[in-house]
Amino acid sequence: MGQTNKKPNIVFIFSDDHAFQAISAYKGPLAQLAPTPNIDRIGKEGMRFDKCYVTNSLCTPSRASVLTGTHSHINGVKILSDKLDTNQVTFPTVLQSLGYQTAVVGKWHLKSTPKGFNYWEILNDQGQYYNPDLITREGQKQVEGYATDVITDKALNWLQNDRDQTAPFMLMIHHKAPHRSFEKGPDHLHTYEDVTFPEPSTLFDDYSGRGTPAKTQEMTIAEHLKLDSDLKVYLEQNVSGFNKRMNEQQRKAWNKVYDSVKTDFLSRNLTGKELIKWKYQRYMKDYLATVRSVDDNVGRVLDYLDKNGLTENTLVVYCSDQGFYLGEHGWYDKRFMYEESFRTPLLMRWPKEIKKASVNADLVSNLDFAQTFIQLAGGVSPETMQGLSLLPVMKNQTPKNWRSSLYYHYYDYPAVHSVRKHEGVANKRYKLIHFYEIDEWELYDLSKDPKELKNQYNNPSYLNKVNEMKAELKRLKQQYKAS
Ligand code: CA
């Protein structure tokens, strides 16, 4: 449609708590049983990033880093309840000034009113899966349907009907899914009900070999993943937090599944390890079926771009606000700098510039999107931004002096899940973590210990490495104005 000389469009699809282990493009142990063909398509027709990490593995801080291109201590969103000050420069504001039509639909979660968007329609805080409330400039109203479908409907409607078709666009599609409590949609209530998923080898981790924080967290499937409000089994008759927002038809379909789950549970009399195994299976069935709706809706977006001649000159990004534990270390949730939560999935497609089926292993970050999109739009990034444009990486032209380490900082303690405050530095092989309030250090050698089971901090043979990583941490803190 003659748009190859125009500035590229950007579609940024952002899910919440979507583990890379739950995307089949990453070929993990769940890939065969729980495929994500549409998300995979972005990688097949573009690039899969294998080393994308976050600055702070938590919903709101990650969103703030994406928008501002800065670490939490600069943008002020350090913990879940912090509000984004939208007077700071964000990439959508810059793109607007460069002539882009901009929109965000779905989970915003930053408390303040979105700024820099021609159109926005957002969930109320965490939002709801069924018949969610959506907020616009005109106020709040409930919309019938399943959140993942509704968000995509709204996004496609804006693309089709409500934007200035002569201008390039930047559309952020922010799903609530598959965030806790992993409520699957009407199309996938029965998906995976008959599947048994492989257990991670660390499901019964005893946390020996690590320090206090791994032992005192409160995010285990065994103790903290709740039978009722997480796994939907209410032992008391007629009590369910999940049915409240559903219409009659949705409720009936839902109850059909979870009544059987409850019957099954009651027939088993499970305790100890058997109970944990059962809970893990239920967790996976719900989580992965919730993911499946995200994948279906990614497919709808890709199809729309195809049908409207937009594929060639649109950068499509799929990413999550952080990673998530799918039973590794016996956990669900995120927060730690350990690999499953520190790392996040990232796939990009832009046929004009990205070679098909590329795989990239450079260290990239959620800090990088803002500058990437600004460069793509032909702008110059404000000096306050702390990331790197991914454009050369996307073109397989990563500069020789590309970053070799990443800075991480988690602040939300005391808080739900009781993960201690920590900061750290990681390169492709080593990770140094400092739980500074209790002054405990951990060093992991990921080439020998990819599951991070053995803290080597006090091992004399790693002394030089510890000192090297400490120096690197200090250097990064100076670079990012964190000290
Ligand atoms: Ca999240």
At 133-155, the pLDDT tens digits run 999 999 999 999 999 999 999 99
Ligand 1 centroid to Cα of residue 397, in Å, is 31
Contact yes or no for 159/171 (Cβ under 8 A): yes
Contact 184, 329 (CB under 8 A): no
- Residue 75 CA to ligand 1 centre (angstroms): 18
3-state helix, strand, coil in the chain (%, to 5): 30, 15, 50
Paired sense of beta strands 169-174 and 9-15, if any:
parallel
CB within 5 A of ion ligand 1: which residues?
A: 16-17, 59, 321
Question: Could you give the angle at which helices 272-307 and 147-157 cross, rounded to 10 degrees?
Answer: 20
Q: What per-residue confidence (pLDDT) applies to 3? A: 45
392 upstream amide cis, omega within 30 of 0: no
Distance 331 CA to ligand 1 centre (A): 15
184-210 average pLDDT score: 98
Of the candidates 98, 96, 94, 55, the residue with the CA atom closest to the CA atom of residue 78: 55
List pLDDT tens digits, range 312-322. 999 999 999 99
Mean pLDDT of 211-236: 96
Per-residue pLDDT at 1: 43
Gap from CA of 179 to ligand 1 centroid (Å): 7
DSSP-derived 3-state class of residue 209: coil
Distance from residue 237's CA to the centre of ligand 1 (Å): 32
In the predicted structure, residue 383 carries a pLDDT above the cut 80: yes
Q: How far is the CA of 300 from the centre of ligand 1 (A)?
A: 23
Q: Using 50, 70 and 90 to split pLDDT, how confident is the model at 163?
A: very high
Give the other-Cβ count within 10 Å of 88's Cβ: 18
On the question of pLDDT at 471 being above 70, the answer is yes
At 293, is the pLDDT very low, low, confident or very high (cuts 50, 70, 90)? very high
**What is the 165 CA–ligand 1 centroid distance (Å)?**
32
Task: Summarize pLDDT for 436-455 with one digit per residue, the tens.
Answer: 999 999 999 999 999 999 99
Neighbours of 380 (CB within 10 A): 10
- What digits encode the pLDDT tens for the residues 299-309? 999 999 999 99
Q: Is the pLDDT of residue 264 over 60?
A: yes
Cis check: omega of the bond before 181, within 30 degrees of 0:
yes
Does the structure show a pLDDT above 90 at 2?
A: no
- The pairing of strands 440-445 and 430-435 is antiparallel
Q: Give the separation between CA 217 and CA 210, rounded to whole angstroms.
A: 12
Q: How far is the CA of 408 from the centre of ligand 1 (A)?
A: 16
Q: How many A from CA of 322 to the centre of ligand 1?
A: 6
The amino acid occupying position 93 is T
CB-count exposure of residue 153 (10 Å: 0-12, 13-18, 19+): middle
Say how far apart CA 121 and CA 241 lie, in whole Å.
26
State the distance from the centre of ligand 1 to the C-alpha of 197, rounded, in angstroms.
Answer: 23
Note if the pTM is more than 0.95. yes
Mean pLDDT (whole number) for 24-36: 98
Distance (Å) from CA 109 to ligand 1 centroid: 10
**CA 402–ligand 1 middle distance (angstroms):** 27
Distance 312 CA to ligand 1 centre (A): 30
Cα(21) to centroid of ligand 1, in Å? 15
DSSP character at residue 410: E
- C-alpha of residue 110 to centroid of ligand 1, in Å: 12
pLDDT over threshold 60, residue 22: yes
The answer, yes or no, to whether residue 238 has pLDDT greater than 90, is: no
Q: How far is 176 from 362, CA to CA, in rounded Å?
A: 28
- Domains of the chain plus CATH, in order, are 9-183+286-395 (3.40.720.10), 189-281 (no CATH), 407-479 (3.30.1120)
pLDDT at residue 5 above 90? no
Nearest-angstrom CA–CA distance, 196 and 292: 16
| CA distances, 127 to each of 123, 131, 291 (Å) | 5, 10, 17
